[in-house]
Structure 1
């Protein structure tokens, strides 16, 4: 958690111990503007580096992340409460993104030459556009930064980061890792700023584009502010991902996978499985096994290997989640397990299952950002697909079925999301696109797609004067 100390600063809190980790001062508006100007100046030199030079540094950053794995993982866990093993996995994923980007990025950014009908020649360049502003959340302190920063650094842009306050230490550590790996000073710049100063950064002439990962409401606000100054945005927003358990599903596989998919990273994941839409013919078998597995998950100190769930990142987030659970029960859902705030130090919340979840309930329509699962009964496979799409969100989803061909057809033709997992769960893959539709946002990251979101696809025509 981060709490306001005064109008000039704040402190970060360890969500496991509730003790203060560090205190930070906000940059003034003038200091932030000066940092933007320095980033732009650094960009003017960085943009003319060759793709090979950039790729070499991107690879070095990936290695530096692994070299600093223990220290950075411990820091992330202390700042936001994720299990230490999940912090290690986050570093591995981030290093993988660096490796993929250094190789694939060169292919995506190389000039394309086209012969013209009149005998002339066309060159298509993916040119860097300038300084990019990234506003990032706390749930993956390293990965959230890496996935937008690395592709845009490879593209030749300058990168600004406004990280969530409670992971400020992680943000500053990443800046040091980047520069120790050879990235020129100020090309990647951390802004420790208030929301008011953030608006000024969006409006600044030297800032050419904005990307945000956060809530749908935050996305609407940032999109509006950016549109007022005609700046492109990429938004990765909230979701309420549905995982379908169809009538021919492997129930053991579905239960094991769905428990992990709901509670990974303490359940604080935008692309987590949240609604479990189970066909009537297998509902009781799935429910019995799923509830038992969730009940058996032990919460506790995230550095303890016996713990399966750590604390939620902030006290207010834990309180909001509990209020959503209580409201859903008042609206008619039933508590199958969990649902009580532990009487102990730390912002813990147990693995919780709500059943009889129906339209009109919070658990059906809203995102529950924590280890709370919503069980929804469907009449049949077709009804399950209908329920899955009955959502304002559209980030990810999943299908459990032994019929792979039918599952692929459902995913391609009917699942209204940006990503679909079949008989599995995955957080992200460096070589596949990541992003959603509807109120889950727009634009893509990963898979070679993110690297072209913020470039100037420039056409250069050379006339044939030898005719």
Structure 2
């Protein structure tokens, strides 16, 4: 039995029966059969399915956004924006799939040689609760466009979302069986990964879970894309527009109640402007409204689960005990629900929990750097490498620093965010592989070489250097 809980008060929302093992077996068989036909479907028809799915999402924004907010506490305005971003991504791949998957001619010794992009088969998607629609649709849009089928194992605290995304694809007119959600326990995932009917695996989740899935998929020699944890640096240099940077820092840290792998978490500020930045940051943060996520003026809703709030507060406590300075927040909200206030801790160092560990909630760590060189060193002093931001009035200098930062994406004078037009992913313990852009659609394809015939071998170039003689 899978139970969803209202993070506003801890009350049970609904219960769901697990998908029986016999039904999972049938779902896998059906997915393989459907995918074999789907891979032969013209790209124009595949793209049309994506456009219809985008239309279904847009028509259902109020209902789908309500599902998100009810199950994991995202402010309703952000939940609505999440649905629209999913629709935009579906439209993007509908518009560009034919271009991205077109044969690529390559000059060689053959009469005709090309690179082909053919689907792998049925992909297992293991998805998290924090963006229950977006994380799925940024995978499924390119996967279906490329001719793959899919099985979704969603986080068990968002079962209604898991069933809702299946409904979207079904109502868009997808072939029966091409995509299904399964409501199963985490202990059953290994069996799915090992199953010969699964061709590849994608996971968005914690680094710890990513390592387990990578091991299991590696044992089965199956392709993986892993988008894992992050502790993104947000560097503010001495010549930056401090008020603008402090305003952007609020969005960078506290969007989605601070529960995103790509949220900025470590705010690395040059010492000469640190006091000014902290004062501006504090004023902006204290203007945020914490409350019921269904109220449209709420900025910070509850965290998704009680254990997540407990873990976050433990990180805050350990950081403060080790010398961090509390600027605002830092005390769990009393009463029902899993609320935690927007928090800032100043004078954090590389020895503190808020620097070393990923803080998955509304807590910002401010680290003071003596200069830009030390700022980059601090930014790279982490096991993670997902995103980063650099704020500076000198764009040439900022670009140079961006090239020195170990991350999958660096944004200058803006907030790190995924964009369907650009590849998204990390390095180090933030994972590997890319989603979105042309790179994303080519992750779950067989990059096949096609070589036809041969041409006459070219004559060797005339010698231009006389060999030395003894």
Displacement of 1:173:
0.9
Indicate the larger mover: 143-152 or 403-412. 403-412
Displacement of 1:31:
2.3
In structure 1, C-alpha distance between the alignment counterparts of 2:222 and 2:182, rounded to whole Å: 19
Does 2:381 align with 1:390? yes
Displacement of 1:327:
1.2
Cα pair 2:319 2:354 within 8 Å, conserved:
yes
Does 2:411 align with 1:429? no
Displacement of 1:115:
5.7
Does 2:25 align with 1:43? no
The structure 2 residue matched to 1:337, chosen from 306, 320, 328, is 328
The structure 2 residue matched to 1:18, chosen from 10, 13, 17, is 10
| Larger of the two Rg values belongs to structure | 2
Q: Closer, same or farther in 2 for the Cα pair 1:464/1:417, shift >3 Å? A: closer
Displacement of 1:17:
2.9
In structure 1, C-alpha distance between the alignment counterparts of 2:29 and 2:353, rounded to whole Å: 45
The structure 2 residue matched to 1:93, chosen from 85, 92, 113, is 85
Aligned equivalent of 1:169: 160
Does 2:441 align with 1:451? yes
Cα pair 1:202 1:225 within 8 Å, conserved:
yes
Displacement of 1:418:
0.5
Does 2:58 align with 1:66? yes
Q: Secondary structure at the match of 1:124?
A: strand
Q: Secondary structure at the match of 1:165?
A: coil
Cα pair 2:239 2:394 within 8 Å, conserved:
yes
Displacement of 1:461:
2.7
Q: Secondary structure at the match of 1:302?
A: coil
Displacement of 1:325:
0.7
In structure 2, C-alpha distance between the alignment counterparts of 1:168 and 1:194, rounded to whole Å: 12
Cα pair 2:118 2:146 within 8 Å, conserved:
yes
TM superposition score normalised by structure 2: 0.95
Equivalenced residue count is: 457
Q: Closer, same or farther in 2 for the Cα pair 1:392/1:465, shift >3 Å? A: closer
| Mapping of residues 63-212 of structure 1, within 5 Å | 63-114=55-106, 116-118=108-110, 120-212=111-203
In structure 1, C-alpha distance between the alignment counterparts of 2:106 and 2:279, rounded to whole Å: 61
In structure 2, C-alpha distance between the alignment counterparts of 1:112 and 1:359, rounded to whole Å: 47
Displacement of 1:124:
2.6
Q: Please, what is the CA RMSD of the aligned residues?
A: 1.5
In structure 2, C-alpha distance between the alignment counterparts of 1:284 and 1:124, rounded to whole Å: 55
Cα pair 1:163 1:192 within 8 Å, conserved:
yes
| Mapping of residues 225-374 of structure 1, within 5 Å | 225-374=216-365
Displacement of 1:116:
4.7
Cα pair 2:2 2:159 within 8 Å, conserved:
no
Cα pair 2:387 2:426 within 8 Å, conserved:
yes
Displacement of 1:464:
6.0
TM superposition score normalised by structure 1: 0.95
Does 2:62 align with 1:55? no
Q: Secondary structure at the match of 2:196?
A: coil
User: Which residues of structure 2 form unaligned runs of 5+?
Assistant: 457-470
